[in-house]
Amino acid sequence: MLGAEEILRWGMNEFGPRFAVVTSFQKEGMVLVDMAARLGSPVRVITLNTGRLPTETHAMMATVEARYGITVERIAPDPVEVEKMVEAHGLDLFRKEVVLRKLCCQVRKVRVLDRILTHLDAYSVGLRRSQAESREAVEQKAFIGGKWKLSPLALWTAADVEEYTVRNDVPVHPLYAQGYTSIGCAPCTRAVTAEEGERAGRWWWEVEGDKECGLHFSPEGKMVRELDVLVSELMNA
């Protein structure tokens, strides 16, 4: 079993500028940014600027740049693809049905990451097994589609993340103070109660489903076919 720092160091040393920490500046991602900075070598930090992020997330980007002396690479979705999607299904299509929410995530996040990965050999994310049932099998190192996907914190608990954050005075996203435990796009994320799970605030209006956007886990079965059709129609419009 490898330690988080050891895995992160391997990615940074092995791949140099073709390695990046991809983060939305939640606590796990901030631990990775801080850990990478302490390792001493320059590291790329990339975020997906979906166009629907909370103002607090934009503030975190500035905080990270000031604290660690790095430039956050803000990667936006293709404006033509976004325009086609909004024209076809409306700005808040994600409220209508799950497959349209998945389409929004595909255009604003998944397809953006796919484009980023063409310029990387490896990247690191803040997934933990204890975050949700859908993440229980997350591997610390996985070779997927010709790229190394590193999840150095896969075996960490929420308490481990909190302990590191406090001990190292890591900047914390302001929305945590408002009761958020998972932070994504502004219209798709809310605060949770003490009785709810970590990811209960994501797409809370959906009764069923894995509450994943597709960046880390692909939807299955009928959803895949419906989503493929919608993406194909959008790209060919």
Q: Do 14 and 149 contact (CB within 8 A), yes or no?
A: no
Predicted pLDDT of residue 200: 86
Q: Based on the number of CB atoms within 10 Å of its own CB, is 40 exposed (0-12), middle (13-18) or buried (19 or more)?
A: exposed
For 135, the token pair is: 């993440």
User: If residue 142 lies in a helix (H) or strand (E), which one and from where to where?
Assistant: strand 141-144
Domain that holds residue 160: 4-235
Query: What is the domain count for the chain?
Result: 1
**Which pTM was predicted?**
0.86
Average pLDDT, the chain: 89
Q: 172 pLDDT exceeds 80?
A: yes
Mean pLDDT value across residues 164-183: 95
Burial of residue 19 (CB within 10 Å: 0-12, 13-18, 19+) is buried
Q: How many CA atoms lie within 13 A of 209 on its CB side?
A: 23
Question: What pLDDT does 151 receive?
Answer: 92
Q: 211 near 134, Cβ under 8 Å?
A: yes
Q: Which long-range contacts (CB under 8 A, 24 or more apart) does 76-81 make?
A: 76/49, 76/50, 76/51, 76/112, 77/48, 77/50, 77/51, 77/107, 77/108, 77/109, 77/111, 77/112, 78/107, 78/111, 78/112, 81/107, 81/111, 81/234, 81/235
Contact 175/56 with Cβ under 8 angstroms? yes
CATH number, residue 37: 3.40.50.620
Q: Model confidence at 216, in pLDDT bands (50, 70, 90)?
A: low
Side-chain-side CA neighbours of 1 within 13 Å: the count stands at 4
Q: How far is CA 111 from the centre of its chain?
A: 13
pLDDT exceeds 70 at position 213: no
Residue with tokens 């958020």: 180
Q: Is residue 198's pLDDT more than 90?
A: no
- % of the chain residues with pLDDT over 70: 89
Dist. CA 32–CA 45, nearest whole Å: 10
Structure tokens of 77? Answer: 């979705």
87-94, long-range: CB < 8 A, 24+ apart: 88/233, 88/234, 88/237, 92/187, 94/187, 94/188, 94/203
Tokens of 2: 């490898």
The string of pLDDT tens digits covering residues 62-121 is 999 999 999 999 999 999 999 999 999 999 999 998 889 989 999 999 999 999 999 999
Catalytic sites, residue numbers: 213
Q: Quick one: what percent of the chain has pLDDT higher than 90?
A: 68
* Cα 159 to chain centroid, rounded: 20
Cβ–Cβ under 8 Å, residues 54 and 175: yes
